[in-house]
Amino acid sequence: MTDLIRTTRAQLGLTGHELGERLGVTAGAVSQMERSEREGRIQLDTLRRALRAMDRQLVVDQAVESPYSRYAPARVTDSVAEALADGDTAFALRLITQAAKMVAQHPEALTDRELNARPSQLSDPRWEQFLRAMYEDALPEDRRPSWTKPQKLPRRWYVSQFDSLRQRARETTPQRLRDLNIYIDERSLSRA
């Protein structure tokens, strides 16, 4: 589902223990809240209380669903987080590249609200920067929200763990990703 508690806590530089002190619970209880939120089992009152302890408020809203809403960044982030939690990096890659392709082909299909609404981030900074880079490339410059600006990874990261694909990535990674220290071969980007 979402990862608001963990993402907010990380943005504020709080440990699970520190948030637990604010809530009057243990660090283990905070970890359990974060897990139940990711799994979509958290109660809204618990989520509100955790966010309120970090001086944030939960805003719940509704919007008309379009055929392209599933490519909205918030939905893709949640789906990728779930795939990564399951250890399915191939599916995570497919989700990101498919979303980027659809957004590039139909940049007007997502509303500004859908593009800007990205409450959680991926816990793995490598995947987070890859997702940002793919959306940045997919969107026309005048539609890019500020969150799409990727940051260069501190060291080279190969999206694939297979030696043959790593070798191909050394030779065929697009320059825009190479500049971010993200290595993935062009064929994997287009096939996924």
pLDDT 10s digits, 107-145: 999 998 899 887 678 989 999 999 999 999 999 999 999
Closest by CA position to 103, among listed 78, 132, 60: 132
- 81, 37 Cβ separation under 8 angstroms: no
- 128, 122 Cβ separation under 8 angstroms: yes
Determine the pLDDT at residue 1.
61
Q: For residue range 20-29, list pLDDT tens digits in order.
A: 999 999 999 9
- 121, 135 Cβ separation under 8 angstroms: no
Supply 160's token pair. Answer: 């694939």
Q: Alpha carbon of 173 to those of 83, 186, 191: distances in Å?
A: 23, 6, 14
**Which residues of the chain, if any, have pLDDT below 70?**
1, 61-64, 119, 192
Distance CA 21, CA 27 (A): 8
Distance CA 23, CA 18 (A): 9
Distance CA 93, CA 158 (A): 12
Question: Taking the CA of residue 110 as centre, how many other CA atoms within 13 Å lie in the half-sphere pointing to its CB?
Answer: 30
Question: Taking the CA of residue 63 as centre, how many other CA atoms within 13 Å lie in the half-sphere pointing to its CB?
Answer: 15
In this structure, the chain runs to a length of: 192
Determine the pLDDT at residue 123.
87
**Phi, psi (deg, nearest 5) at residue 191:** -85, -30
Distance CA 171, CA 148 (A): 26
* Strand 157-158, strand 182-183: pairing: parallel
Determine the pLDDT at residue 67.
82
